[in-house]
Amino acid sequence: AQSVTQLGSHVSVSEGALVLLRCNYSSSVPPYLFWYVQYPNQGLQLLLKYTTGATLVKGINGFEAEFKKSETSFHLTKPSAHMSDAAEYFCAVSGGGGYQKVTFGTGTKLQVIP
Amino acid sequence: DSGVTQTPKHLITATGQRVTLRCSPRSGDLSVYWYQQSLDQGLQFLIQYYNGEERAKGNILERFSAQQFPDLHSELNLSSLELGDSALYFCASSPDPGQGSVQFFGPGTRLTVL
């Protein structure tokens, strides 16, 4: 069984401040982990993906995430928020079963305050 | 633009009716996924097809059915519609059904049941 918990359904940061979006996962097998972003009135698009190897994963638009097995976490960060980062962010885990069942978290809406 | 197309963009219908949502995957992608996104349930995986065959089922109601055709496009059929079926329906595609495969999402179909 696999699951994802995103802490905080809404996060507000000031423009230029650090963005930290939290994700904890549960998986019975080594997981694949993803962060997707959804801009208003659009579908989801991939920000970054963790498979195996380096624990720090770099994605698009300056985002990165660190895989911490001991904490079963995969938090998303960006050093300096931009107004265009306002969107909803979804953490997802895959790895259970013989097919690609992806379980998405409930999402975190990021508000960037000018 | 992810390369995944969905039609129609918007659909308004009445309770008890039946509708069909259509999805064309990215060129070369063999796997198609359907998701339902609503305010109260979040993003829910419905069903996955790979090269015409059903691969995985999620929280799909018996009133809902889907299929993937030889040209790889997919249709999601929703029947005996209820008010609670109002939601955004996303289609996603990936090159293969593997656990680490990235999914590319379409722009969604917004279904409103009155």
Mean pLDDT, 10 residues at a time, over chain A (114 residues)?
A: 89 97 85 92 92 88 93 96 96 70 90 96
pLDDT for res A99 = 55
Q: Comparing B82 with B97, which gets the higher pLDDT?
A: B82
Residue B32: what pLDDT?
95
Cβ within 8 Å, pair B48-A49:
no
pLDDT score recorded for residue B101: 83
pLDDT at B2: 86
What is the structure's pLDDT at A98? 52
Partner A contacted by B98 (CB < 8 A): yes
pLDDT of residue A26: 86
Shortest Cα–Cα distance, B43 to chain A (Å): 7
Cβ contact, residue pair B2, A32, below 8 Å? no
What φ, ψ does residue A71 adopt, rounded to 5°?
Answer: -105, 0
Confidence of residue B4 (pLDDT cuts 50, 70, 90): very high
Residue type, B54: E
Spatial distance between the Cα atoms of B66 and B91, rounded to a whole number of angstroms: 11
Q: Compute the distance between CA of residue B98 and CA of residue B104 in angstroms, rounded to an integer.
A: 14
SS3 (DSSP) at B82: coil
B50 chain-A contacts, CB cut-off 8 A: 99
pLDDT band for B98, please (50, 70, 90 cuts): confident
CA triple A50-B109-A34, angle to 5 deg = 5
Among B90, B97, B107, beta carbon nearest to A100: B97
Predicted pLDDT at B39 = 84
Closest residue by Cα to residue A26 from A87, A71, A61, A58: A71
Q: Distance of alpha carbon B68 from its chain centroid, rounded?
A: 11
B107 phi/psi in degrees, rounded to 5: -75, -10
Can you tell me whether residue B68 is helix, strand or coil? strand
Contact flag B42-A100 (C-beta cutoff 8 Å) = no
Mean pLDDT for B57-81 is: 95
Which residue type, as a one-letter code, is found at position A103? T
